[in-house]
Amino acid sequence: MTEGVIQSVRLLAGRYQVGDLLGRGGMADVHVGIDSRLGRRVAIKLLKPALASNPSFRSRFRREAQEAAKMAHPTIVRIFDAGEETLVGDDGSEVQLPFIIMEYVDGRLLKDMIAEGPIEPVEAVRIVSQLLTALEYSHRAGVVHRDVKPGNIMVTNTGQVKVMDFGIARAISDSSASIAETSTIVGTAQYFSPEQARGEAVDARTDLYSTGIVLFEMLTGRAPFTGENPVAVAYQHVNQQPLPPSAFTPRVSPALDAVVLRAMSKDRFERFQTAREFRIDAEAAGAGAIPPRKTVQVNEFNSTLFGANPNAPTGSEATFRQLNVDQHDRIPRTQNRPPVAWIWGGIAVMIVMVVAVVLWTLSLSQTSYTQNVAIDVPDIVGLPFEEASTKIADENLVAERHDESSPEIPAGSVIRTDPEAGITVAPGQDIAVYVSSGGRQVKVPAVVGAPQADASAAITAAGFTEGAITQEYSPTIKAGVVISSAPGPGENAAEGSPIALAVSNGLVQVPSVVGQAVGAATNTLVGLQLEVKTVSDWTCGGGAVSSQSATGDAPQQSAVTLTYCAKP
C-alpha cells in the first residue's frame, strides 16, 4: 500500500473525517479530524502504510489504544475510539489500516519549547510535576510508558500538560519484557534508562529515569548525553555519570541539581521509587527548599545503653528525651547509691554519639551538593600511558585503557581520549584512553594487473594508504594497469602505511639497433611486441642495420621499419 491510498482516505468508520497532517512519528502519522456524529475536533492516528501489513505492528498499535483507554486523567491524552479501515491498495488487494481517534490538544510539543532554549526552573518544575502526576496515575493503573520524552508531551495554551503515545507501553505485570524480545528498539535511545540500554527488565522506575532526563533538558536546553549514533548514547546511559544541570545553567539551584541526579541514578534502587516521591521532592526543590534525605533503617538491637535505645532516632532531641524518662518508668534500683562513674561515663558516650551524628549528617549534606563539581579532561595525547594515567588520577578521574594500532604514534603512547581534552565531566568519571600498540602488520593485497582505480580501492580497503604513483613502460600491459607495487603483493606492511604503485603508460621505449645484424635487431624489437618490417639496401653489404624508422617512445605494438645492408 502506498501513500496515495492514505491520501485517498477521507472518512473512517463512517464518521471521522480525515483532515490535514499534524505530525509524523516512527509508527504512525497524526491528522486533524472531525467527528461528524458529535461535531467535535479530534486527532486521528493512522499506522504508516509500510507497517500496516505487518501483524506485529498492528498488534502494537492496538495495544497502544487498549493501554491508553484504561486511563482517564486530565494529564493524559484521551482515547475516544479505535478500529481498522479496509482499503484497496494500488495493486487491487485489500489492506487493513488501523486507526486511533484521540483527544485533539491545542498546544505545543515540549520538544519544540526546549528547542528554543532552557526553560525557567519554576516553569520546568511545574511541567514535570504534571508529567509525574500522569505517570503516577498510569503506574497505579498498571502501565509503564517506556518512551517518556519531550516529543510525547504536549503543553496546551492554558499550560496543561498532556502525555501521549503509549505505543510501546506494557502492563507492569508484564514488564519483564525487554529490548531483547524484538528486533525493534523499544524506546528512544536519548531517553533510555540503563536497564533499557542493557536489554534488562523494566519497571515504573524506568519512566522516572526518562523523566529525569526530560527535566534536565528543560533546565539546560540540551540532552545530558549525546553521541554519533544510538549505540554511543546508550553506552553513556550505562557507563557515564551526568553533569548537574547547574554546570550549564547556573541559575539552577543545588537542590534541583540533587533531584535531577537522583532521578538519573544508574542503579534503579537509588532513584526515586515512585512518581509521587519524585514529584514531592521536585516541587520542594522548585520552591527553594532542600528535599529531605531518606535514611536507611539499621538492624534492631535488644538492649539499651544507659536508658537510651541505640536504634532510636539519632537526633539530639530524641536522645535526651530517652535520657530524661520519668522516674516512675525506670526499673527500680537495688543499690542504695548509683554508680556515679558509670553515669558520667554514659553521659560522655552519649555526647560523643550526638556530635558524631551531627558531623555525619553535615558531611552527607555537603557531599550531596558538592560531589558534582565539574572537571575538565586534561590533555594527555602523546604521553606514555603510565604518565597519562597518573595525570588523569590527579584530576579525580579514572583512566580506562584501550589498545589501538597506530603507525604514527609510538607504541605505549596515548593516541586520544574520550571525552576529548577540555570537555567538562563529573568527578570519578571513566575516561577512555586509547594507547598505541604500534602499526599492525597487514598483508599487501594482490593488485598487479588491476586497473589503477581498482588497485587504489583495494589498498584502502586493506587498511593502507595510497603512496606514490609512477608511470612505467611496458610492451604488454595496457595503459592504466598496475605493473608492480612496493611493498609487493603478499608482503607484510604496517597498517596505514603507504603502498607505491607502478602503472603502465601504454608506451614502449624503442632502442636503437643500427649497426646490429638484422636478425638480432629484429629479435630485439619483436621481443618488445613491436611489428618489424625490413627493407634491403643493395648499396652496402654485411647484413647490418643501416637505419630504422623509429626510436624512443612509441605506442605499444607499433610498426618499426629496419633498413639493412643486403649487398653480398
Among 512, 519, 513, 526, CA closest to 543: 519
Residue type, 501: L
Question: Which residues, in sequence order, are bridge partners of residue 143?
Answer: 171
Instruction: Decide: 454 and 487 in contact? Cβ < 8 Å.
Output: no
Residues 410 and 382: their CA atoms lie apart, in Å, by 8
Partners of 481 in beta bridges: 451
- Contact indicator for 184, 230 with CB cutoff of 8 Å: no
How many whole angstroms from its chain centre is CA 399?
21
Exposure letters 436-451 (e unless 16+ CB within 10 A, then b): bebbeebebbebbebe
Q: What is each CA distance from 522 to 189, 203, 473, 474, 516, in whole angstroms?
A: 76, 90, 20, 18, 9
Which member of 29, 91, 106, 147 is catalytic? Answer: 147
Which amino acid, one-letter code, is at 527? G
Contact yes or no for 472/499 (Cβ under 8 A): no
Locus of grid cell 599492525: 440
23: CB partners within 8 A, 6+ apart: 29, 30
Between CA 380 and CA 418 the distance in angstroms is: 11
Query: Does the annotation mark 147 as catalytic?
Result: yes
Q: Which residues of 1-13 are buried (b: 16+ CB within 10 A; e: fewer)?
A: beeebbeebeebe
The CA distance from 217 to 266, in Å, is 18
* Contact present, 125 and 133 (Cβ < 8 Å): no
Find the distance separating the first CA and the last CA of the chain, reported in whole Å.
Answer: 93
Of 431, 387, 382, 442, nearest to 411 (Cα)? 382
DSSP strand pairing (531-541 vs 28-35): unpaired
Q: Which residue's C-alpha cell is 503509549? A: 166
Q: How many CA within 13 A on the CB side of residue 176?
A: 2
φ, ψ at 464 (rounded to 5°): -100, 175
Active centre residues (catalytic): 147
